[in-house]
Structure 1
Amino acid sequence: MQTSVHEIAEGVYRLSTCVPDAVPGGFTFNQYLVDADEPMLFHLGPRRLFPLVAEAVGRVMPVERLRWLSFGHVESDECGAMNAWLEAAPGAEVVFNELGCMVSVDDLADRPPQHMIDDGTYQLGGHHMRALLTPHVPHGWEAQVLFDETTRTLLCGDLFTQVGDGPALVHDADLVTPAMAAEEMFGATALTGSTAPTLRRLADLEPRTLALMHGPAFAGDGAAALRGLADAYEARMAQGVAA
């Protein structure tokens, strides 16, 4: 396995590792490095991928420059390597929402994490980051996404998950069809009455780039893609209720 590096927006790098035997056709695990005065890594990866991802970060900047470490929810592929990053970057801190810290990260992290608040903005120096809490969307009580207001990039975690190892960046592609195919395979989304409204709230940000954790990054009308995903999940939930 190798970890590839591609700049998907100005100063935002997709670090992608395809694990070929995870599912038929392979499955990508992506991290996103925001190269700012105070650099941030979003998604920390599982522990076994840490050496590959750390080497990939090193192609952009020294690992020890990392200042902030964050992720979408508490799961091994999101934060399994958290303490390895804390050891490799002595000045780094984990930053995550208060609920997630209370129920998990305060205990799991080797250094105390900083707490994010819903709709709070954070200055990285060259990039302005906004945190948005998305409980149970797509899953996890403590789920969140981050929005880089400077480049209008939504670090959208497990939203739009798809299988396979495609290009690093696609332009105005259909993200909904492969996402629903993956949903049929995994059944990973927690469908509730708040699923579609939460996605439409994210669409109102009008992102230009969607940074998927599992799949290619997307450039184009991110709002339309998010509203399409909201419609698809709303229809799926209605079918389940009717059944």
Structure 2
Amino acid sequence: METLVTEIAPDIYRLSTYISDADFLFNQFLIVAEEPLLFHCGLRSLFPLVSDAVARVSPVADLRWITFGHVEADECGSLNSWLAAAPRAEVAHGAMGCLVSVNDMADRPPRPLRDGEVLDLGGKRVRRLETPHVPHGWDAGLLFEETTGTLLCGDLFTSVGNAPALTETEIVGPAMATEDVFGATCLTAATAPTMRRLAELRPTTLGLMHGPSYTGDCGRALDDLAAAYEARFVESLNGRRAADS
């Protein structure tokens, strides 16, 4: 295995490891600024590979912020390894996630972030967007880098297989095919509206955790993803009503 490094937007780097046995990509994102930030820590077993990849771009010890979408092994399994390697680093996560999980998990106290709160990194600005249960996890949230219009969208658009670092090829179809296999996304009344609120940001790049980074019509992709899940939600309601009648 190797971790590949690609600049997907100015000073935003995709760190990508393909695990062939699982036929799955695991991506982290490094934002280089006066206060460098890592989004997704990665699995604990991948820390040597990913930290070496970070070091090719910026010293690991210089990391100031470590954050992730929600509490899950592939998002924060190596959290404390990063804290040990970067003595100035602070964990930043949504307030709910800090309360229920990160306060206990992290070797240093985390910085709770409110919905919409911005971290000024010096040259880059990242905004925490709370997305409870979208795609899953009640502490779920995403990160939007305002100066480049890059949405780091975690498990949204997850697809199996290896993929190029950047693509303009349609990503909703592969995501829904993967959803058919794993059923990983919560279907609630808030699922589609949450995705449509993300579309209103009109991002220019989508940083997928499991798949390629996307540089096509990002707003349209999010709207189409919302429509696909809305159709499934309505179908599930209709199925329940039919069963109850």
CA distance in 2, matches of 1:88, 1:176: 37
Partner of 2:181: 185
Residue in 2 aligned with 1:98?
A: 95
Alignment partners' CA distance in 2, 1:128 and 1:61: 18
- Structure 2 matches for 1:92-131, cutoff 5 A? 92-131=89-128
> Could you say which residue in structure 1 is the equivalent of 2:242?
none
2:56 match: secondary structure:
helix
Shift of 1:220: 2.3
Which one of the candidate residues 69, 73, 79 is aligned to 1:76? 73
Give, in whole Å, the separation in 1 of the partners of 2:212 and 2:93.
24
* TM superposition score normalised by structure 2: 0.97
Aligned pairs (5 A) from 1:1-243 = 1-22=1-22, 26-171=23-168, 173-243=169-239
Instruction: Report SS of the residue matched to 1:60.
Output: coil
For the aligned residue pairs, the C-alpha RMSD in angstroms reads 0.6
Identity, % of aligned pairs? 60
Q: Note the alpha carbon deviations across 1:178-222, whole angstroms, 9 max, x for none.
A: 000010111000010000000000000000000000000001211
Letter matched to residue 221 of structure 1: D
Comparing 210-219 with 231-240, which one deviates more in the overlay? 231-240
Q: Deviations over 1:27-53 (max 9, x none)?
A: 000000000100000000010000000
CA offsets 1:85-111 (integer angstroms, 9 cap, x no match): 000000001000110000000000000
Secondary structure of the structure 2 residue equivalent to 1:86: helix
1:241 deviates by 1.6
Post-superposition CA distance 1:58-101 (Å, at most 9, x none)? 11011001000000000000000000000000000100011000
CA distance in 1, matches of 2:167, 2:81: 31
Q: How far apart in 1 are the matches of 2:113 and 2:161?
A: 33
C-alpha distance after superposition, 1:117-149 (max 9, x if no partner): 101111000101111100000000000001000
Aligned-pair distance for 1:4?
0.2
2:145 aligned partner, one-letter code: D
Residue ranges of structure 2 left out of the alignment (5+ in a row): 240-245
Of structures 1 and 2, the larger Rg is shown by 2
Give TM-score scaled by structure 1 length.
0.97
**Structure 1 stretches of at least 4 aligned residues deviating more than 6 Å after TM superposition:** none
Listed as ranges, the gaps of 5+ residues in structure 1 are: none
Alignment-mate amino acid for residue 111 of structure 1: R
* 1: CA distance, partners of 2:175 / 2:164: 16
Give the partner amino acid of 2:66. Answer: L
